[in-house]
Copies of this chain bind each other. A is one copy, B any other.
C-alpha cells in the first residue's frame, strides 16, 4: 500500500475524531450525525468541539476549539456554518489533523465566484498543511471495519459488514445505493459521499478501495471527472484487481447543468470521456441507480464466464422468450444445447418438452436435475434461472443452496430472476448468501453481460469461434 493509501486510513479508520459543531440541539446535524457515530459503536476517541457549549454533549465534555484537543486527531468532521469553515480548516492544519470531512455546503456548487474562491482557499490551506479533505458538501463517510458512521440522512437499521464499497459524488444517490444494500440483506464495507471533490477526487477513493482488503467490489457514481487521464490511469490499475461498477451522470446538457449546481462539476460534454473510461479502464457502466447495486452485487459471488454462451432454465415460457431477446440484444449467445444435455433433460421433463434453449420446464417442477445438466454442459458458459421462489412453488430455501453449490462446483455464473415481480422471501434468502434475486429480466441479463464484459476486459475478447470450441 503506497503512501497515499496509508494516509487514507486516517479517513476511513481514524483512531480519533474532532467533531466540530457538536451540539445537544436535536434538530441539528451536529447532534444527529454525532449521535449516529455513538449509536453504531465507534470505539476510537471522540472530541466534541463547540465554542459556546459548557454542558456535556451526548455524555462527553466539549472542548472550545480544535487547538484545545490534547493530541492531533486523525480526522476532523466539520458541520458548522459555511463562513466558519476556512478558519476551522486552518486550525486543523495547525493542530496536525490528518484528514478532514467537510459536510457543510454552500461553496463552489452555488456557481458564484465568491464561494468558489473560498473553496479554493480551503483546499489550498489543507493541501499546504498536508491534510486530506473530503467534500465540501459531502453527506458523510461510513466505514464498517471501524464502526465509523458519519452520515447525514436517516439512520439505516440492519446494516451489515460486507465486501461492497461505495464512492458517490452525490449524497442522495449514494444513500439510495446504501439503502438498497441494506434492504436486500447485503453487507458493505466503506462508503463515501465525495461532495464537491475539491481536494480528494473519485479516483483517490478508487485507489484506496483497490488496495483495501475489505473491499471486493467497488460501486461508484460520478457527475463528471476532473482529471480524465489520472482517473483512467488509476481505474485501469484498480480494475485489474477488482470490478468497478459505475453510474456516470451529467453526460447530457441538462444533466451537466444540473451537476454544475449540485456538486460544482464541470462535466459538460464528458460523455466521450466516460466512454473512453469504460473502453480503456474497463469500468462497468450502468444506467440506473438500482443497477449500481444489483449489477455490482452480482460480482461478489459469481465467477467470471469463459465465453458468451448462456443456458436459460425457466418455468415460464414467455419469460424465456423475453430473456432470449434480451440476451441476444446484449450480445450473448442463447446457444443450442448438445444432444447429450437434451437427453439428460428428457429424464426430468415430460415427453413433449421443447428440447430447446431456453429449457422450459412447463408444468414440471423438476428444476434441480435440469439446472445440474446445464451447469455440467460444456457448451454453456453461464446460466439464467427464471423461477417462482416462494412457498407456493419452490421455496427460496431450496433453490438457493443448490444454486450456490453449483456455482462453486462448476465455476459458472448462475443468475436468478423471478420474472417480473419480486417476492420478499427470495430477496431475503438470496441476500443472506450475498446473491442477487433479480425481478427484472433486462437487469438480470445485464448482470450476465456485465460479467462477460469484465471477463473480456481481463482476459481478452471471446470471439464466437472461441466460444464454439468450448
Report which A residues bind B (CB closer than 8 A). Answer: 105-106, 109-111, 154, 168-177, 179-180, 183, 221, 223, 247, 249-255, 257-259, 261-263, 287-290, 314-322, 324-325, 327-329, 334, 352, 354, 356-358, 360, 362, 392-393, 419-421, 439-442
Asked if A321 and B421 make an inter-chain contact with CB atoms under 8 angstroms apart, the answer reads no
**Distance from A15 Cβ to chain B, minimum over Cβ atoms (Å):** 31
Q: A176-B319, A180-B420, A223-B318 are in contact. List 20 more A-B contacts (CB 8 A).
A: A154-B392, A168-B318, A170-B316, A170-B317, A170-B318, A170-B321, A171-B317, A175-B316, A176-B419, A249-B321, A249-B325, A252-B328, A254-B357, A255-B322, A257-B324, A258-B324, A262-B360, A288-B441, A290-B420, A290-B440
Asked if B110 and A254 make an inter-chain contact with CB atoms under 8 angstroms apart, the answer reads no
Q: Which of B261, B329, B393, B439 contacts A354 (CB 8 A)?
A: B261
Q: Which of B177, B327, B356 contacts A420 (CB 8 A)?
A: B177
Q: Which of B258, B287, B317 contacts A172 (CB 8 A)?
A: B317
Question: Could you write out 18 A-B pairs with CB less than 8 Å apart?
Answer: A110-B352, A111-B354, A172-B314, A172-B315, A173-B318, A173-B319, A175-B316, A179-B421, A221-B318, A247-B322, A249-B318, A254-B327, A255-B321, A255-B328, A258-B320, A258-B360, A263-B318, A287-B442
Closest to A314 in B: B172
The CA of A175 and the CA of B392, in the complex, are separated in Å by: 14
Please, which residues of chain B bring their CB within 8 A of the CB of A170?
A: 316-319, 321
The CA of A41 and the CA of B288, in the complex, are separated in Å by: 43
Closest to A424 in B: B424
With A169-B318, A180-B421, A420-B177: A325-B251 Cβ-Cβ less than 8 Å: yes
Asked if B172 and A421 make an inter-chain contact with CB atoms under 8 angstroms apart, the answer reads no
**Distance from A89 Cβ to chain B, minimum over Cβ atoms (Å):** 20
Asked if B106 and A352 make an inter-chain contact with CB atoms under 8 angstroms apart, the answer reads yes
